[in-house]
Structure 1
Amino acid sequence: MPPRLAPPARRRGRLAATLLAALATLPVLATELSVLRAPRVLLDPAEGRVMPATLVVADGRLRAVLPGLEAEVPLGEGERIAEERRFDAEHTLLPGLIDSHVHLAFDPAPPFWAEAVVTPERATALGARNALRTVQAGFTTVRDLGAPGQAGFALRDAIAAGELPGPRVLSAGRMVSIIGGHGDLTGFRPEVMEALDEGNTCTGAAQCAEVVRRLSRAGADVIKFAATGGVLSQQNRGLDQHFTDEEMKAIVDTAHQLGLKVAAHAHGPRGIEAAARAGVDSIEHGTYVDEAGIRAMRGSGSFLVPTLSPTIAYRENLPKGLYTPVVAAKIRVRLEATGRNIAAARRAGLKIAYGTDTGVSEHGRNAEEMPLMVQYGGMSPQEVLVSATRTAAELLGLEDEVGRLAPGFSADVIAVRGDPLTDLGALQRDRVAFVMARGRVVRE
């Protein structure tokens, strides 16, 4: 006679009880906390107050910011302190810095033919090296405003997944350009340019809106377009307005409808004015801005990202003959206008967000922009530091995530030797002693 089986409901109940009993014997995985203690902590550069504090980090975020060097760290069930670091009075802890304009996948002064030879895959590998240099220099968040193919998106995603060390990246992908303008491939045989076309050019409002939608579909965090000509491209069509007013408006309106901010590469005065009237969130460079451009920027609330660092690279590389004649001529004209942008913006009370254009200048030297902002813009060290933290975070739409040290914010913390509120030299890479990016230590 076959054995009698228990009813299905009773069998399920016995199985559940067995599983629960087995689970009860498994070890509970503890939440690991990191604790940073320092007598000098600058929680908010805008407030400018340095104080002793204890920072508690869990799961990549600041769990708590406790006053005092010896504050007791409360532990919940299943939590333990995995590491504790103490800093002496020589060091100041502060929020990780933000660079609003970088090109991780590029290096300065490549030969003109490199754009037709270097693959996006090679550019991604180059970008991984540059991302490490950038974060180890204390810049824990960057906005990448132009990279070939999918390189910018690949770097962003690999870093976010913890597969590569680097800063938080907001990526624009390819810059939108007019045909034959800055950001488009020029100077080669027509069939070469056609073969390498990445679909980032457009003519007319409808086509420009389509390109923005395609970039959005590809994963862009921000849209960048070349409102004017550029210095380093082989095109020789001047540095002023390239897109029409209607095309710019289509780019900006479409991006904003999709929830994306817009950065406009803009050197010449009429291109700056037109881009600001179109409602861009930031003017990148703004080299020849005039009163009409300033009025338009004030009306639209556009930030200025002054990018003074390329002038360092230009002065270093121009005597070496690294630029083609057409580019060298544009560089000389560009150098004559150095600082006009930031001086005008500061007089007008515009918001100035820190951005360097590294890729044109050297990666890892991002902080060399700071003394130039003092020299040409008359900014104080604290104002420069705020531009590289609170103001840049606001421009990027990350003001509730980065830019200060507060509970719930990303654990982006750096330690520098000296007082950055009075000495910007303390923020140069040789004086950055410790970097934590999203809770991961990347320099110590």
Structure 2
Amino acid sequence: MQKSGLATATAVALALCGAASAEARTTVIYAGQVITDADKPVQGPATVTVTDDRITSITAGRAEAPAGAEVVDLGDKTLLPGLVDLHVHLTGDPGDDYRAAAVDPDEWGVVVGAKNAAITLRAGFTTVREAGSAQYTAYALRRGTANGFIEGPRIVAAGPALSIIGGHGDVTGFREDVHAVLDQGYTCTGALECAEKVRKASRAGADVIKITATGGVLSQQARGLEGHFTSAELQSIADTAHSLGLKVMAHAHGAGGITASAAAGIDSIEHGTFADDPTLKVMKAKGTYLVPTLMAFEGIRERLGKGIYTPTVEDKVRMTLNDVGKAVTRAKALGVPIAFGTDAGVFEHGRNGGEFALLVKYGLTPREALASATTVAAKLLSLENEIGRIAPGMSADMIAVDGDPLSDVTTLEKVGWVMVRGRIAG
């Protein structure tokens, strides 16, 4: 009886495995040319085969599709890896009044985020790093896009940023009793408390730790753009995060705050507006990435003087505009790795691709600009074996554009076809 039961169970298991195998989705994609890796030459006509969510083969020419496969014919379009934006705020839109924090529930952030996730994906960005949100909004979006419930990119989420009390990232601009109600619990003072808040963020579900290492442009605090955390606090944050297997991204504008962050082992500097040569040399020595977010300043510039920002914010905007982009030129000259990030949410989601032309304007080649949003970004995320290239075994994250982005990066501003995790968008 036992042998018979075992045989029956085995037969059922084999049948189920066979059924699962038979249900595997195969998609065959024909493209006029393919960029498999930003560091490699463009290939001629090719066939890319996808099984479920994985790339399984790349064949020169037009290979015959297996029976039952879905066929996508992209004509003469260029197929390339899905793009990565390392700095977005999906749960917000540009021009949002800072007082909305006291009015809108967190659930509204998920609604806004679902809208923006779809827009971002259709713009060609198949992976994003969500760089600061309410406690669980980005985590909900992360789960929704992963499960296919919400159309959107792969989301690497930070959750609330760590900040000093009253600094950029903290709730400011209200009465103190209102601050107490709106406080998310991620400010810290001293190395011990900062370590505690990193652990709290990790426990809550953060994929990466976001900190505001200096003052910021769009917050209501009027203390300039220099360093906020002490060196001891920065070291505690970096060491604690790394002990948990998490990287740290630091919003930072002023050179002193950037230098202190890099010296402490922070993994990436976001914005880096006033990074000078001595600062960039520290970043180079420590392997710290620069994520310039040049499009953020385009969005801010477009809204300056229109009554959208408070006088406090407008004063800080004018402190930055003459220096935007200079750090990119210096960073390239000194060999600091430059990774793609836009700060979408400060400008309209979906315009992320405009960052490419700005990177080229300030000294990157088109190939380097594309690498910043594919292979370089993937390495910063420790996902280089998952995204950033078209190769067997990689996640089926691909886009198609007209023309050759290695000669004209503006082609990346108009993406004609998107696949993420083997699912076609739109």
**Residue 141 of structure 2 aligns with which residue?**
155
- Percent identity of the aligned residues? 50
Is 1:349 matched with 2:335? yes
Aligned length: 424
**2:365 paired residue among 363, 380, 384:** 380
The alpha-carbon deviation at position 71 of structure 1 amounts to 2.2
Structure 2, unmatched stretches of 5+, are none
**Residue 389 of structure 1 aligns with which residue?**
374
* 1:285–1:341 CA contact under 8 A, matched in 2: no
**Residue 180 of structure 1 aligns with which residue?**
166
* 2:110–2:137 CA contact under 8 A, matched in 1: yes
**1:61 paired residue among 48, 54, 79:** 54
The alpha-carbon deviation at position 15 of structure 1 amounts to 9.2
Matches within 5 A, 1:289-328: 289-328=275-314
Residue identity in the other structure for 1:381: P
Structure 1, unmatched stretches of 5+, are 1-8
Which deviates further from its counterpart, 57-66 or 397-406? 57-66
The alpha-carbon deviation at position 24 of structure 1 amounts to 6.5
**Residue 84 of structure 2 aligns with which residue?**
98
**Residue 220 of structure 2 aligns with which residue?**
234
Specify whether residues 398 and 329 from structure 1 end up closer, same or farther in structure 2 by C-alpha distance, changes over 3 A only: same
**Residue 63 of structure 2 aligns with which residue?**
71
CA RMSD across the alignment: 2.0
Specify whether residues 366 and 21 from structure 1 end up closer, same or farther in structure 2 by C-alpha distance, changes over 3 A only: closer
d(CA) in 1 for partners of 2:82 and 2:15?
A: 42
Matches within 5 A, 1:97-116: 97-116=83-102
d(CA) in 2 for partners of 1:21 and 1:199?
A: 52
Residue identity in the other structure for 2:416: A
Which deviates further from its counterpart, 98-107 or 13-22? 13-22
Specify whether residues 116 and 71 from structure 1 end up closer, same or farther in structure 2 by C-alpha distance, changes over 3 A only: same
The alpha-carbon deviation at position 17 of structure 1 amounts to 4.8
Residue identity in the other structure for 1:238: G
- 3-state SS of the aligned residue for 1:362? coil
**Residue 81 of structure 1 aligns with which residue?**
68
d(CA) in 2 for partners of 1:402 and 1:180?
A: 38
The alpha-carbon deviation at position 49 of structure 1 amounts to 2.4
Specify whether residues 15 and 237 from structure 1 end up closer, same or farther in structure 2 by C-alpha distance, changes over 3 A only: closer
The alpha-carbon deviation at position 67 of structure 1 amounts to 2.1
**Residue 418 of structure 2 aligns with which residue?**
435
**1:402 paired residue among 387, 392, 402:** 387
- 3-state SS of the aligned residue for 1:50? coil
Matches within 5 A, 1:8-23: 9=1, 13=4, 17=8, 20=11
d(CA) in 1 for partners of 2:262 and 2:9?
A: 67
**Residue 332 of structure 1 aligns with which residue?**
318
TM-score by length of 2: 0.96
* 1:112–1:324 CA contact under 8 A, matched in 2: no
Is 1:169 matched with 2:155? yes
**Residue 360 of structure 1 aligns with which residue?**
346
Deviations 1:233-281 (A, max 9, x none): 0001110000000000000000000000111111001000000000111
d(CA) in 2 for partners of 1:14 and 1:378?
A: 70
d(CA) in 2 for partners of 1:217 and 1:31?
A: 35
Deviations 1:299-332 (A, max 9, x none): 1100100110112111211132100000011111
d(CA) in 2 for partners of 1:42 and 1:185?
A: 44
Which deviates further from its counterpart, 19-28 or 331-340? 19-28
Is 1:35 matched with 2:28? yes
d(CA) in 2 for partners of 1:330 and 1:427?
A: 31
d(CA) in 1 for partners of 2:48 and 2:261?
A: 42
The alpha-carbon deviation at position 190 of structure 1 amounts to 1.1
- 3-state SS of the aligned residue for 1:56? strand
- 3-state SS of the aligned residue for 2:359? helix
**Residue 225 of structure 1 aligns with which residue?**
211
Q: Which has the larger radius of gyration?
A: 1
**1:51 paired residue among 44, 54, 63:** 44
* 1:34–1:81 CA contact under 8 A, matched in 2: no
- 3-state SS of the aligned residue for 1:264? strand
d(CA) in 1 for partners of 2:265 and 2:130?
A: 21
The alpha-carbon deviation at position 22 of structure 1 amounts to 12
**Residue 244 of structure 2 aligns with which residue?**
258
